[in-house]
A and B are shown apart, each in its own frame.
Chain A
Amino acid sequence: MKAKFLVPLALFVVLVLFLAVGLRLDPREVPSPLVNKPAPAFKLAQLEQPELQFSPEDLKGKVWVFNVWASWCVACRQEHPVLMDFARAQIAPLIGLDYKDQRKDALGVLKRSGNPYDLTAFDADGRVGIDYGVYGVPESYVIDKAGVIRYKHIGPITSEALQKTIIPLINELKKS
């Protein structure tokens, strides 16, 4: 007789567990198929010096961070101080990708609030962004010495994510 009552209870517990896990997942965080694949090649003019170009090839042999941002992106402002801290620590080169932006606006933002980037590539029509599977700016990639994407962070980097995930990963990758 007792089992009859325990069965619905057990089913209920299972349901609650499923909901508890499901509600904690963020549907906006789509796992990127690009992790552990070579970073897509491109060649873009730089933001500050349009006569110079940047290509991921230039950083072969280095571990670096690629951060997609834009002047119109509100969450990027939230992320900005964390990036400034990261730049100050000089752990790895930080390259920006100014995604679908106006050059004037982007330069204005860097001038006003500081420039954490070693350089920024200027992706006016968003084609490079599409190749990197960008769908919600800001997004960041950790790229290893061989030019392979090892980690993707969607949304603003928090200082917790930086200290606990990104910096340890960079240090690990530097060793190899």
Chain B
Amino acid sequence: MKILYVWILVFLTSGGVWAKEAMPLADDPAVEQRLIVISEELRCLVCQNESLAGSRSDLAMDLRRELRGLIKQGKTDEQIKEFMVSRYGDFVLYRPPVKPSTWLLWAGPFGLMVVGIASLFVYLRRRNTDIGTGGLTDDERKRADALLQEGEK
């Protein structure tokens, strides 16, 4: 009976023997580090709200493979971004460049803010002058006094 317990114990504890060694994430951690930094700034074309770093789509994997190759060739970040932009357009950049077609995109929010602040000022000034003229004229004051005295009688 004892030997049965020993065998059960052996089977229950030997699971780790079957496990494989963890796959290394990349052959070169430095390359991988740069890849992550660059691809965080790039859009995945297949699932457009994911970055190239985070996407599990086939295209994203292929593109990461290409970018890894470019990094190993010693290309600069600018050259790597150019590689992507020349194929997929500015749309792949999460930070689009400032140029005539994107002026509205970059300046639009500030423009709206200026308009908002301007209308706030106009509104406040108008309200102030309204309050200023809200008082009674001498004539009206006399009439009000008269009415009040009449009420007291």
Q: Which residues of A contact B (CB under 8 A)?
A: 27-28, 30-34, 100, 125-127, 130-133, 135-136
Given A100-B58, A131-B87, A135-B88, do A30 and B63 touch, yes or no (CB 8 Å)? no
Residues on the A chain within 8 Å of B48, using CB: 27-28
Residues on the B chain within 8 Å of A125, using CB: 62
Residues on the A chain within 8 Å of B133, using CB: none
Contact: B62 with A33, CB < 8 Å? no
Q: Which residues of B contact A (CB under 8 A)?
A: 45-46, 48, 58-59, 62-63, 66, 85-91
CA distance A137 to B110 in the complex (A): 39
Given A130-B62, A130-B66, do A30 and B87 touch, yes or no (CB 8 Å)? no
Residues on the A chain within 8 Å of B88, using CB: 30, 32-33, 133, 135
Q: Which single residue of chain A is at the shortest CB-CB distance from B48?
A: A27
Given A135-B46, A136-B46, do A30 and B59 touch, yes or no (CB 8 Å)? no
Q: Which single residue of chain A is at the shortest CB-CB distance from B49?
A: A27
Contact: B87 with A133, CB < 8 Å? yes
Can you name 15 A-B residue pairings with CB atoms under 8 Å? A30-B88, A30-B91, A31-B91, A33-B85, A33-B86, A33-B87, A34-B86, A100-B58, A127-B62, A127-B66, A130-B66, A133-B89, A135-B88, A136-B45, A136-B46
The prevalent SS among residues of A at the interface is: loop
Residues on the A chain within 8 Å of B90, using CB: 33
Q: Which single residue of chain B is at the shortest CB-CB distance from A135?
A: B45
Contact: B85 with A30, CB < 8 Å? no
CA distance A131 to B63 in the complex (A): 11
Residues on the B chain within 8 Å of A28, using CB: 48
Given A27-B48, A136-B45, A136-B46, do A130 and B87 touch, yes or no (CB 8 Å)? yes
Contact: A34 with B91, CB < 8 Å? no
CA distance A125 to B48 in the complex (A): 22
Residues on the B chain within 8 Å of A27, using CB: 48
CA distance A33 to B45 in the complex (A): 14
Contact: A135 with B59, CB < 8 Å? yes
CA distance A31 to B48 in the complex (A): 14
CA distance A133 to B85 in the complex (A): 9
B58 to chain A minimum Cβ distance, whole angstroms, is: 7
Partner of A30, one of B45, B58, B86: B45
CA distance A133 to B87 in the complex (A): 5
Residues on the A chain within 8 Å of B45, using CB: 30, 135-136
